[in-house]
């Protein structure tokens, strides 16, 4: 939904990796220096408008802004590889919001989320809600493919809208800012529901080196444009898209300084936040970050 200004997002070096007899060269992004802004794109696929038109007729209920703040912690669960490492801790949470493949991942482990958020307009992403659950409330961006609505038919479901250039929504309905991915949008949904004390799982933005996977399990999409990212004297294998997501996450934080975030991860995002906010003491421009969480020793 958002693009980064290219002049603020350039790799600084290259890294050579030897795989067998072959030496591969990858861009190396210096995440200690890269702090880009946001730029909206007007290149909106026509399918998005079509999906919105169909979905707002099918689903009548809409997400509303909560009038009260909920003090209890809420877990927002992405599908990054470290979900396998920290996911057991989710049994301690009463309020859980899943995204993407984390929906099935948790249900298969008898952890039933309170809510599930989806925003992808492509039909192939509907696979993650194919096995919907009666105890989950589905909070869907109105741009999702109608196949997602097929999956959750008969379940509790509400729509909300993402701010996009050229897309007109019904008057007085909730439109949330568009950031980079479903995990970041789920943070805004959690805030809309009234939660401020957020605990983020599976927000890695890096690849699990041992398996070369970007997710904790099956995900309908292959990573492309591999790069390496350097931060705090650590190197992470990632993709151009994921690295950009870290930059947008920075903007999300600085736009929502009333949120308290604890991050359960040892991926690129936690190292980036550790470097730029915890170590450098920039709490004046960030939400309240849990040092224990960001340092991934929770």
Quote the distance between the C-alpha of residue 35 and its chain's center.
18
pLDDT score for 42: 58
Annotated domain spans of the chain: 2-294
Distance CA 185, CA 172 (A): 20
* Of 262, 249, 137, 118, nearest in space to 184 by CA: 249
pLDDT tens digit sequence for 194-220:
999 999 999 999 887 666 565 555 555
Q: What are the beta bridge partners of residue 25? A: 16
**Across the chain, what does the average pLDDT equal?**
82
Q: What are phi and psi of 216, to 5 degrees?
A: -80, -10
Residues of the chain with pLDDT under 50: 1-4, 38-40, 281-285, 291-298
pLDDT score for 247: 82
Q: What are phi and psi of 268, to 5 degrees?
A: -65, -40
pTM: 0.85
Q: Quickly count: other Cβ atoms within 10 Å of residue 46's Cβ.
A: 8
Q: What is the DSSP string of 6-50?
A: GGG----EEEEEEETTEEEEEEEEETTT----EEE-----HHHHH
Distance CA 170, CA 167 (A): 10
pLDDT tens digit sequence for 243-272:
888 888 888 888 888 898 989 988 899 888
Distance CA 25, CA 288 (A): 38
pLDDT score for 227: 81
Distance CA 16, CA 12 (A): 14
pLDDT score for 184: 94
pLDDT tens digit sequence for 159-180:
999 988 888 899 999 999 888 8
């Amino acid at each position: 939904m958002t693009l980064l200004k290219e002049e603020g997002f350039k790799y600084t070096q290259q890294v050579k990796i030897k795989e067998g007899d072959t030496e591969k060269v990858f861009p190396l992004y210096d995440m200690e220096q890269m702090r880009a802004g946001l730029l909206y794109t007007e290149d909106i696929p026509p399918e998005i408008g079509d999906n919105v038109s169909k979905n707002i007729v099918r689903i009548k209920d809409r997400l509303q802004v909560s009038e009260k703040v909920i003090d209890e912690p809420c877990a927002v669960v992405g599908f990054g590889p470290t979900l396998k490492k920290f996911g057991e801790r989710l049994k301690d949470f009463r309020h859980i919001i899943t995204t993407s493949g984390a929906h099935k991942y948790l249900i298969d482990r008898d952890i039933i989320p309170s809510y599930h958020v989806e925003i992808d307009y492509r039909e192939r992403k509907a696979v993650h809600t194919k096995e919907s659950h009666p105890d989950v409330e589905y909070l869907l961006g109105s741009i999702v493919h109608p196949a997602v609505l097929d999956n959750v038919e008969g379940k509790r479901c509400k729509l909300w809208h993402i701010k996009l250039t050229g897309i007109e929504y019904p008057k007085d309905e909730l439109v949330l800012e568009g950031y980079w991915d479903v995990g970041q949008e789920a943070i805004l949904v959690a805030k809309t529901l009234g939660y401020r004390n957020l605990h983020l799982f599976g927000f890695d933005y890096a690849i699990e080196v041992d398996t070369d996977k970007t997710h904790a399990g099956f995900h309908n999409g292959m990573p492309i444009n591999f790069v390496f990212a350097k931060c705090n004297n650590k190197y992470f294998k990632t993709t151009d898209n994921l690295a950009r997501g870290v930059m947008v996450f920075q903007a999300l934080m600085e736009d929502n300084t009333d949120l308290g975030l604890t991050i359960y991860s040892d991926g690129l995002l936690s190292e980036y936040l550790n470097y730029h906010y915890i170590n450098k003491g920039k709490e004046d421009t960030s939400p309240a970050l849990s040092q224990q969480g960001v340092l991934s020793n929770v």
